[in-house]
Amino acid sequence: MQNLLDFDLAGLTGYFASLGEKPFRARQVARWIHQSGAADFACMTDLAKTLREKLLQQAAIVPPRMMAEQTASDGTRKWLLDVGGKNGVETVYIPETNRGTLCISTQVGCALDCSFCSTGKQGFNRNLSVAEIIGQLWWVNHVLRESGEGIRTRQTDAGCLVDTDSDHDDPAPPDRIVTNVVMMGMGEPLANYDNTITALRLMLDDNAYGLSRRRVTVSTSGLVPAMDRLAEDCPVALAVSLHAPNDQLRDQLVPINRKYPLADLMAACQRYLDHAPRDFITFEYILIDGVNDRVEHARELVRLTRDVPCKFNLIPFNPFPGSDYRRSSPESQRAFRETLAEAGLVATTRKTRGDDIDAACGQLAGRVQDKTRRTLHRIEVNR
Ligand code: SAH
Ligand code: SF4
């Protein structure tokens, strides 16, 4: 049985060709699935009955099953997706004044083992399929549409996951429920490259979700070859998890830095900007008490990023069970931000959303049965 959620438009067109059908059928069916939220061929009344019967026998529209849902006091909602075995990954919807942002997961766990990350601490189980990645967007649109939520229920703005102030010249269509997608949930999107790209193409396609490239953000810990591929294959807004201003510290916090050190990463960011839909890279920087949050670190960061047009998203560390790190004090957070600002850099401190349901950055734990030994030499990165 072919799950049609696994196809982007090119895949769907190929599938319909194999059934002897014209490409416009693929566009019709894509609109039913992704725009109307159809999971049933019977409702696709503009398809010939014979085609609907053929599809019924050979294909299905199977989104991932949702096991649990929680709503935080600030309106943030989190779902746990059943991804087989005893595993589950999380997806988080964050309502704000003028937008609704969905934070999507791309892997069950993560092999990159960053020292401050709850997902990384659980190890890696497997990549999510295209259907499981795009199914998060499909599902959340479906649930919010059914309950009449979305833009109407959006609340006070409370800081944003990525700096999207340039949304002003890119207004969201008024009927859109999820207006922005960030690949900042569980997993490293660029380590699940092919499935991530196919899902991105569906997000951007006018026959599916029709989001603009500026409203879709991939967050990466810095897989340099895959960043170059993304620039060619599907350039969307890019956030890079920096977290340290020098190799010595970054090697400890983000172990993939040993493979792709900061000089290479900065050069890759510059190359990406030739293709990017925004004219800056967003650098994410977690502030961990006494580890990377001193004013000297901020000064070093200014020097490191001198040649890369960028904005900073400062993320106060979110604690999770088993971690010894602590969040930077409000004074250190302010001094760090001001040091960047004095050097002319735009830096916003990300407000924590949904922390009463463990939906804040880096707290997404889901359920992962570890299948890896978490050592760097076992990390396989698509080239
Ligand atoms: N693997 C990708 C995307 C998922 S992580 C990446 O690393 O960029 C999404 C963001 O959450 C990253 O910036 C990550 O560094 C951050 N994060 C991880 N653990 C965190 C924690 N405990 N507190 C705050 N942010 C965290
Ligand atoms: Fe993986 Fe990102 Fe967590 Fe690092 S921060 S372990 S890359 S999910």
pLDDT at 74: 87
pLDDT at 172: 67
Mean pLDDT over residues 332-343, rounded?
A: 97
Q: Is 114 a catalytic residue?
A: no
Tell me: pLDDT of 168 over 60.
Answer: no
User: Do 142 and 116 touch, CB atoms closer than 8 A?
Assistant: no
pLDDT at 167: 53
Count Cβ neighbours within 10 Å for each residue of 135-148 and write b for 16 or more, e otherwise.
bbbbbbbbbbeeee
pTM assigned to the model? 0.92
User: Do 236 and 191 touch, CB atoms closer than 8 A?
Assistant: no
Q: Hey, whose CA ends up nearest to atom 6 of ligand 2?
A: 120
CATH number for region 65-357 = 3.20.20.70
Between CA 176 and CA 152 the distance in angstroms is 10
pLDDT at 382: 39
pLDDT at 373: 52
Span of 81-90, 101-110, 225-234 with lowest mean pLDDT? 81-90
Tell me: pLDDT of 28 over 70.
Answer: yes
Q: Radius of gyration of the chain from Cα atoms?
A: 21
321 CB burial (10 A radius; 0-12, 13-18, 19+): exposed
Q: Is 90 a catalytic residue?
A: yes
DSSP one-letter string for 306-359 = TTS-EEEEEEEPPP-TT----BPPHHHHHHHHHHHHHTT-EEEEPPP-SGGGT-
* Apex 91 CA angle, 85 and 96, nearest 5: 170
**Domains of the chain by residue range:** 2-60, 65-357
Mean pLDDT over residues 279-285, rounded?
A: 96
The tokens of 347 are what? 């830096």
Atom of ligand 2 nearest to the CA of 191: 7
Of 90, 96, 149, 188, the catalytic one is: 90
For a substitution probing ligand 1, which of 230, 241, 250 has the most ligand atoms within 8 Å of its CB? Answer: 241
Between CA 27 and CA 22 the distance in angstroms is 10
Block residue for tokens 């019924």: 56
Mean pLDDT over residues 314-324, rounded?
A: 92
Contact partners, residue 189, CB within 8 Å, separation at least 6: 106, 183, 196, 218, 219, 220
DSSP one-letter string for 288-299 = BTTTT-SHHHHH
Tell me: pLDDT of 117 over 90.
Answer: yes
% the chain with pLDDT above 70: 88
Q: 3-class DSSP state for residue 287?
A: strand
Yes or no: is domain 2-60 CATH 1.10.150.530?
yes
